């Protein structure tokens, strides 16, 4: 099967942010990363990251009907004798009498119904009454027989204030601005929010939109690009309206009911609720384990919570399968969403709430072909530098080409991240850069 993963961003960014754990090769196509595994001749399956900056992919998946072919029913029996048709029902006078009886009963019923309707409905004015508090006992629990779970309205009322929209603004090397919107959830009263890395990738500014439509500024604290996880923190002086409880994804069973909350297609549909079941507790997608659910997950749901019937977060909504068959204009893929198991995130929380080591540069790989054409060395060219960052303080400049760090050769952004991540805050790294046709050594202190 030909599996395609697409991270779809509306910006055409050709540079890579060094401070991301960049494990993918940038193809120069809207930062789309493609992974393929070719077997047989089946049509490709399109997995789409579900932040609202995603574009609809033309990749499709082929589902072939296995229904047997049918033919018109035979008018002969197995012995090839004509089948005789037996006449039944009213005939002649009996038929006429039956019709008259039906008409008479219908007329009388209509007159009588009109009188009763006028008496009990038409003569009474319509009145409005105050809305009573929701009585959750009127709703059936999602899974009472197994866990004594809460009904869906009570789950939503309990957690909705802790689900947020995450708006990320980006600026590319040409100064063009862009914005994407995803989802997230508050997991600490100190203002820490969990979301997907692809929601905040390359963000220069982060804004949090709460369920009551209030807003607050946020910042990216840390992330794990490989797991597609990120933690952001509210920087404004704002009390958190709710904190979601983290569940245990190892206790899930196939068929268990779940609730997804997020912001499909952006803030216009803030706090949209969908329901479904766990379709699989361990679905392998490109080497990573996901929860599979048929709860509707769409662009903008990325980073939002998948909840069990206790209102606990058991997954982080991340991907959906989309597309239709190339061989059939009518076949489509629905109800196949994927969430990161919360236990995977829980193992990383302690590390993710610690600030990431930041150099403060965005770079572009200089390949051997480019190096030969421009008569420059292979390495990584600096395309932008953040004000007051470690890189600026050390004296790195735009268009510097980084060729070594710690005495180790640097050919890609991934090389820079690997070396940087082997250090801790306060360490000093020696950079070798190519500038104005000569090499310089520059010491950069991490912060």
213 pLDDT exceeds 60?
yes
Angle at CA 243, nearest 5°, toward 253 and 274? 50
pLDDT for position 417: 86
State pLDDT tens for residues 128-144: 444 455 555 555 455 54
Strand 3-6 relative to strand 45-49: parallel, antiparallel, unpaired? Answer: parallel
118 pLDDT more than 80: no
Q: Which two tokens stand for residue 66?
A: 């296995």
Structure tokens of 411?
């050919």
Among residues 398, 404, 387, the alpha carbon closest in space to that of 363 is found at 398
Instruction: Map residue 333 onto helix, strand or coil.
Output: coil
CA distance 70 to 237: 69
Close Cβ partners of 215 (under 8 Å, ≥ 6 residues apart): 207, 208, 209
Q: Which of 19, 228, 400, 415 is catalytic?
A: 228
Structure letter (DSSP) for residue 48: E
pTM of the model: 0.61
Q: Does the pLDDT value for residue 10 go beyond 70?
A: no
pLDDT score for 18: 55
Indicate if 228 belongs to the active site. Answer: yes
Domains, the chain: 146-234 (2.40.10.10), 249-352 (2.40.10.10), 361-445 (2.30.42.10)
**What band does 325 get if pLDDT is binned at 50, 70 and 90?**
very low
**198 catalytic residue (yes or no):** yes
Catalytic residue chosen out of the listed positions 198, 279, 362, 400:
198
Mean of pLDDT values over 208-236: 94
Range with the lowest mean pLDDT among 39-53, 137-151, 366-380?
A: 39-53
**pLDDT score, position 75:** 38
Q: What is the pLDDT of residues 235-294, one digit of tens each?
A: 999 999 999 999 999 999 999 999 999 999 888 899 999 999 999 999 998 888 999 999
Sign of CA dihedral 169, 33, 22, 290: positive
Q: What does residue 68 show for φ and ψ, rounded to 5 degrees?
A: -70, 155
pLDDT of res. 133: 59
Q: Give residue 61's pLDDT.
A: 38
pLDDT, position 273: 96
Question: Which residue among the candidates 20, 180, 302, 324 is catalytic per the annotation?
Answer: 302
Interatomic CA distance for residues 247 and 152, integer angstroms: 17
Q: Is 40 left (phi over 0), alpha (psi -120 to 50) or beta?
A: left
Q: How far apart are CA 78 and CA 238, in angstroms?
A: 81
Contacts of 293 (CB under 8 A, 6+ apart): 258, 260, 276, 277, 278, 279, 306, 315, 337, 338, 339
How many of the other CB atoms lie within 10 Å of CB of 46?
22
């Amino acid at each position: 099967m030909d599996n395609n993963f697409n991270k779809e961003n509306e910006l055409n960014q050709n540079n890579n942010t060094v401070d991301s754990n960049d494990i993918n090769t940038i193809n120069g196509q809207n930062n789309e990363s493609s992974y393929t595994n070719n077997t047989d001749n089946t049509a490709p399956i399109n997995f789409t990251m579900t932040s609202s900056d995603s574009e609809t992919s033309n990749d499709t998946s082929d589902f072939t009907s296995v229904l047997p072919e049918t033919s018109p029913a035979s008018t002969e029996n197995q012995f090839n004798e004509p089948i005789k048709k037996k006449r039944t029902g009213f005939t002649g006078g009996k038929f006429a009498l039956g019709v008259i009886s039906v008409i008479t009963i219908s007329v009388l019923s209509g007159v009588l119904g009109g009188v009763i309707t006028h008496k009990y409905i038409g003569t009474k004015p319509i009145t409005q009454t105050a809305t009573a508090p929701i009585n959750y006992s009127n709703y059936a629990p999602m899974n009472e027989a197994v866990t004594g779970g809460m009904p869906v309205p009570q789950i939503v009322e309990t957690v909705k204030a802790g689900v947020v929209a995450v708006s990320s603004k980006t600026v590319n090397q040409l100064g063009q601005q862009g914005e994407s919107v995803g989802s997230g959830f508050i997991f600490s009263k100190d203002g820490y929010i969990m979301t997907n890395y692809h929601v905040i990738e390359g963000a220069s500014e982060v804004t949090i939109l709460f369920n009551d439509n209030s807003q607050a500024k946020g910042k990216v604290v840390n992330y794990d690009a490989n797991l597609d996880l990120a933690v952001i923190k509210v920087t404004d002086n704002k009390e958190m309206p709710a904190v979601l409880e983290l569940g245990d994804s190892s206790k899930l069973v196939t068929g268990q009911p779940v609730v997804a909350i997020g912001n499909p297609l952006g803030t216009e549909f803030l706090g949209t609720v969908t329901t479904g079941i766990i379709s699989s507790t361990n679905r392998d997608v490109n080497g990573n384990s996901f929860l599979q659910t048929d709860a509707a997950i769409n662009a903008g749901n990325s980073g939002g919570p998948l909840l069990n019937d206790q209102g606990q977060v058991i997954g982080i909504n991340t991907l959906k399968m989309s597309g239709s068959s190339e061989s059939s204009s009518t076949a489509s893929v629905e109800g196949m969403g994927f969430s990161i198991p919360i236990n995977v995130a829980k193992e990383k929380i302690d590390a993710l709430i610690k600030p990431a080591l930041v150099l403060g540069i965005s770079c572009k790989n200089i390949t051997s072909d480019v190096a030969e054409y421009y008569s420059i060395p292979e390495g990584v060219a600096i395309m932008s530098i953040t004000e007051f960052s470690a890189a600026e303080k050390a004296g790195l400049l735009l268009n510097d080409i980084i060729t070594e760090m710690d005495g180790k050769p640097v050919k890609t952004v991934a090389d820079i991240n690997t070396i940087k991540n082997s250090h801790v805050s306060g360490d000093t790294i020696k950079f070798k850069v190519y500038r104005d046709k000569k090499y310089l050594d520059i010491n950069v202190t991490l912060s």
